Amino acid sequence: MTAISELIQRDGLVVVCGSGGVGKTSVSAALGVLAATQTQKRVLVLTVDPAKRLANALGLSALGNTEVQISADLFKNSKTKLRGTLAAAMIDTKASWDELIIRHAPDEATRNTVLQNSLYKNLTERFVHSHDYIAVERLYQAHASGAYDLIIVDTPPSRNALTILDAPKRMQDFFSSRLLKLLTPGSQWQLLALAAKPFYEIADRLLGKGLLRDVADFFTLFRTMEIGFVERARNVEQLLHDPKTSFVVVTTLEDAPLSEAEFLSTALKERKFTTSFAIANRVIPKELKSAALLKQAEVLNQFRNDAEATSELASTLTGSEIEIETNLLSQTMATIANYAQATTQIIEHQTALTDRVVSFADNFASAPMLETDIADIDGLIALGESLNIG
Amino acid sequence: MLDRKLLFITGKGGVGKSTVAASLARAAVAQGKKVLLCEMDAKGALSKLLQTTELGFVPREISPNLSAMTMNTQDALREYVGIFLKTPFIAAIPGLAGIFDFVADAAPGVKEVLVVGKLCYEVRKGNFDIVIVDAESTGHIVAQVAAPTTLRNFVPIGPLNEQTLWMTEILEDSQKTGVVVVTTCEEMAVNEAIDLVAALQSKTNVDTAAIVVNRVPSEVFTKSQEVVFAQLNLASNKLVLTKKAGSNIDLALQATDLGRARRNLATHHISWLRSGLAEMRPIKDFLLLPDFSYEASGALVNKLSSELEAELS
């Protein structure tokens, strides 16, 4: 077992994945803050779609695709100070695609035709899991720039978290698919066009006239960018498999997200990615222990059932101008006892699930259930520190 | 909302769409309806929730009056070709499925129309009183329900175009079709729900049937109990109690406080949701479902469906 502190000591990349709604974005941001406050590294957090308050916490209110340095001023009221530097950026899929087209297009005419094509927008939104591809592409870009020692990327929500790992491969496969070659005229385009003819006819009957032809025309343009795209996708894939890239799987201690985390973790191992951590988020605070809670619940129930004792306590309670009725005090104590008992059930459930997390993960860290949403840098510092402790 | 013929259950990932869809289906069965429950993303969450074996494209009755299926674009294509083009042999041509996938990935609305078409077809056939769809998450649902219209604009002529007309008639009839937006009382989920309702109302003619707030923690104290709780938390009073009871109750107080904090945060997000929705066209049902997230899957659906039955009756 290693601690989170070791993860942030390493230079490299951290890919944070897990099911939707488990707090991936907060965990990513907190890891970034922890790294930039505990080490002198240049840290970047790439995030997909942060909650407004979390974005504000990072000072990210009004930015898009560009990386923004987080000012040390943000830490001025905190005990913890920046030692390294911290940058953050959101991943804007559409803008990133435009950048890719601009980079890979062989000439200005192709570039403009692609960018203005009506299929293009639809394509960038959905084709070959483009959000996933863009996330890893951005990770590669940031890495290749050499401007950062540690890059943490928060993965986009997807049906299956594995799609992100397969995205570079899929991009390469797409360009080498026979179908694409069949549909788009290459060097021997006349022959191919002839072979494609029956397909066009069937497609016209099924889909409507000309639709497939329009699509083919678009991909003909797109294929002019093949070399650039394929090489890039290959580099991105290599980077994901680099030992410097580690994967962190975040989960809450609930059945569905945990099953997803288990599945993901197994798949990561099978594919020989470097998995570093499983993080259990929103865990009942450690100081709440079942045995003690049950005992206190019993003490409360015994006390409140003793009418005389309760009445005596009611009359001695200070801090209110209104006199407390014995009955009301007794009811309140009953509720507290109930909560103490209910919490033990949650603890037991969480403990059982924690065992599952520990069994599939080499390293394990947890963060407590928070009483409020993270709204400022102190919230991120606190989350990072609790991850660091365990 | 269960009087409609077609319900799409959607929301941000992780809010419990499948659970709510399964529970709504059970509640509809309890009202005496014949129900088809359809999972869109083939993740298998539904079969697990319903404690049954893997689902297929062909609806299977898993308990009396409750059938379930999982959506599959290729099967939907095959069925579409067979039924509407009356030329089933075409579907068998090798490579066609691949071509279709390729085009469907790029052309707006093709895949969605097939999928939505299958659902509308089940409604039209009338084998079920209601079709409940465990739909895809917020990012995709607007495109899905608007797909027939999108496609009509994109492909002005052809068989797909003609087929979209009757689908639109079903989808845009608020007596027949509705979207149920599920959220939890968390910031991100609530914001997505507000944005989604706005998009549904501005970009489609499909009615939003209900908002379901899932996993709402229950209220801890009445107002007068709150006062007493605050007093018990005062150091001086704690000392008195510890002395009288023979043990401190600090952890019990802390556990209760955690419950209070969760409840307060939830209330805050629910009022934010209400104020966001207040600016839009009114939505008929606004349901709050209690937090059962620590129940095992099977028990969860049972508890939620009885909760829904009570709320909807």
A176 with A271, same domain: the answer is yes
What are the angstrom distances between the C-alpha of A349 and each of A252, A343, B263?
A: 12, 10, 20
The structure tokens 């990935």 sit at B105
Surface of A (340-369) touching B: CB under 8 A = 340, 342-343, 345-346, 349, 369
The alpha-helical segments, DSSP class H, found in A78-161 are 93-104, 108-116, 118-126, 130-145
Of A350, A254, A372, A346, nearest to A293 by C-alpha is A346
Which residues in A lie closer than 8 A to residue B250 (C-beta atoms)?
296
A277 with A295, same domain: the answer is no
Give all strands (DSSP E) within A237-335, no chain letters. Answer: 245-252, 274-283
Looking at the complex, report in whole angstroms how far the Cα of residue B72 sits from the nearest Cα belonging to chain A.
Answer: 14
Q: Do A335 and B256 touch (CB under 8 A)?
A: yes
Range picked from A123-132, A158-167, B89-98, B253-262 for highest mean pLDDT: B253-262
A175 with A274, same domain: the answer is yes
| CA A292 to mean position of chain CA atoms | 36
SS3 state at A82: coil
Looking at the complex, report in whole angstroms how far the Cα of residue B59 sits from the nearest Cα belonging to chain A.
Answer: 22
Overall average pLDDT of the B188-197 stretch: 90
pLDDT of residue A191 exceeding 50: no
A302 with A265, same domain: the answer is no
- Helices B73-84, B159-171: inter-axial angle, 10-degree rounding: 110
Residue of B nearest to A124 (CA): B106
B165 touching chain A per CB within 8 A: no
Of A317, A363, A357, nearest to A2 by C-alpha is A363
A16-39, pLDDT tens digit by residue? 988 877 888 889 999 999 999 999
| C-alpha to C-alpha distance for A67 and A138, rounded to whole angstroms | 11
pLDDT for res B93? 57
Of A353, A345, A368, nearest to A293 by C-alpha is A345
Surface of A (180-219) touching B: CB under 8 A = 180, 183, 199, 202-212, 214-215, 218-219
Overall average pLDDT of the A185-197 stretch: 49
Range picked from A28-32, A258-262, A275-279, A374-378 for highest mean pLDDT: A28-32
Looking at the complex, report in whole angstroms how far the Cα of residue B271 sits from the nearest Cα belonging to chain A.
Answer: 15
Q: Do A317 and B237 touch (CB under 8 A)?
A: yes
Type of residue at A250: V
Longest CA–CA separation in chain B, Å: 86
B103 touching chain A per CB within 8 A: yes
Range picked from A149-158, A213-222, B221-230, B238-247 for highest mean pLDDT: B221-230
Mean pLDDT value across chain B = 86
pLDDT of residue B100 exceeding 90: no
Q: Indicate the helix (H) or strand (E) that contains B130.
A: strand B130-134
Mean pLDDT value across chain A = 82
CB pairs under 8 A between A and B: 220
A387 touching chain B per CB within 8 A: no
Find the CATH number of the domain harbouring A38.
3.40.50.300
The answer to whether position A364 is within a domain reads: no
Q: Indicate the helix (H) or strand (E) that contains A211.
A: helix A211-223
Residue A163's domain comprises 4-284+369-389
Overall average pLDDT of the B5-11 stretch: 96
A225 with A374, same domain: the answer is yes
pLDDT for res A113? 83
A323 with A197, same domain: the answer is no
| C-alpha to C-alpha distance for B5 and B171, rounded to whole angstroms | 10
pLDDT for res A189? 43
Instruction: Give me the percent of chain A exceeding a pLDDT of 90.
Output: 32
pLDDT for res A110? 85
pLDDT for res A29? 92
Looking at the complex, report in whole angstroms how far the Cα of residue B303 sits from the nearest Cα belonging to chain A.
Answer: 16
pLDDT-derived band at B155 (thresholds 50, 70, 90) equals low
Beta bridge partners of B290: B216
Which residues are CB-contacts of B202 (< 8 A; sequence separation ≥ 6)?
Answer: none
A279 with A297, same domain: the answer is no
SS3 state at A83: coil
More confident of the two residues A144 and A233:
A144
B231 touching chain A per CB within 8 A: yes
The answer to whether position A236 is within a domain reads: yes
Structure tokens at A103: 């980079």
Which residues are CB-contacts of A237 (< 8 A; sequence separation ≥ 6)?
Answer: A168, A169, A172
pLDDT for res B200? 94
More confident of the two residues B179 and A362:
B179
The answer to whether position A361 is within a domain reads: no
More confident of the two residues A202 and A153:
A153
Overall average pLDDT of the B58-76 stretch: 92
pLDDT for res A192? 46
Q: Do A319 and B231 touch (CB under 8 A)?
A: yes
pLDDT for res A382? 92
A141 with A180, same domain: the answer is yes
Overall average pLDDT of the B103-110 stretch: 62
B243 touching chain A per CB within 8 A: no
More confident of the two residues A168 and A369:
A369
Q: Do B252 and A312 touch (CB under 8 A)?
A: no
SS3 state at A365: strand
pLDDT for res A341? 92
Q: How far apart are the first and last CA of chain B?
A: 11
A269 with A298, same domain: the answer is no
The structure tokens 């929103």 sit at A282
**For the CA atoms of A287, A293, A299, A305, what is the dihedral angle to 10 degrees?**
130
Q: Where are the domains of chain B?
A: 6-219+283-312
A92-144, pLDDT tens digit by residue? 777 888 888 888 888 898 888 888 876 776 666 555 456 777 888 888 889 99
The answer to whether position A355 is within a domain reads: no
The answer to whether position A356 is within a domain reads: no
More confident of the two residues B196 and A321:
B196
Q: How many structural domains does chain A have?
A: 2
The answer as to CATH 3.40.50.620 being correct for domain B6-219+283-312 is no
Choose from B258, B265, B295 for mutation: most chain A CBs within 10 A: B258
pLDDT for res B98? 61
pLDDT of residue B166 exceeding 80: yes
Of A120-129, A345-354, B191-200, B246-255, which gets the smallest average pLDDT?
A120-129
Say if CB A118 and CB A145 are below 8 A apart.
no
Of B196, B167, B186, B169, nearest to B283 by C-alpha is B196
A343 with A373, same domain: the answer is no
Q: Indicate the helix (H) or strand (E) that contains A367.
A: strand A364-368
What are the angstrom distances between the C-alpha of A117 and each of A112, A124, B205?
A: 8, 11, 27
pLDDT of residue B90 exceeding 70: no
pLDDT for res A128? 43
Which residues are CB-contacts of B261 (< 8 A; sequence separation ≥ 6)?
Answer: A371, A372
pLDDT-derived band at B213 (thresholds 50, 70, 90) equals very high
Which residues in B lie closer than 8 A to residue A309 (C-beta atoms)?
244-245
pLDDT of residue B270 exceeding 90: yes
A205 with A303, same domain: the answer is no
A54 with A129, same domain: the answer is yes
Of A119-133, A244-258, B183-197, which gets the smallest average pLDDT?
A119-133
Of A138, A154, A150, nearest to A12 by C-alpha is A150
Which residues in A lie closer than 8 A to residue B22 (C-beta atoms)?
none
Residue of A nearest to B163 (CA): A207
Which residues in A lie closer than 8 A to residue B96 (C-beta atoms)?
199, 202
Phi-psi region of B107 (alpha: psi -120 to 50; beta: other; left: phi over 0): beta
The answer to whether position A357 is within a domain reads: no
Of A119-123, A369-373, B11-15, B148-152, which gets the smallest average pLDDT?
A119-123
More confident of the two residues B214 and A215:
B214
pLDDT of residue A159 exceeding 60: no
Give all strands (DSSP E) within A178-332, no chain letters. Answer: 245-252, 274-283
Residue of A nearest to B113 (CA): A207
User: In this prediction, does ipTM exceed 0.95?
Assistant: no
What are the angstrom distances between the C-alpha of B79 and each of A14, B88, B125, B127, B131?
A: 44, 8, 14, 17, 18
**How do the residues of chain B divide into helix, strand and coil, expressed in percent and rounded to 5?**
55, 15, 30
pLDDT-derived band at B210 (thresholds 50, 70, 90) equals very high
More confident of the two residues A24 and B140:
A24
The answer to whether position A73 is within a domain reads: yes
Which residues are CB-contacts of B218 (< 8 A; sequence separation ≥ 6)?
Answer: B263, B290, B291
pLDDT for res B27? 95
pLDDT of residue B94 exceeding 60: no
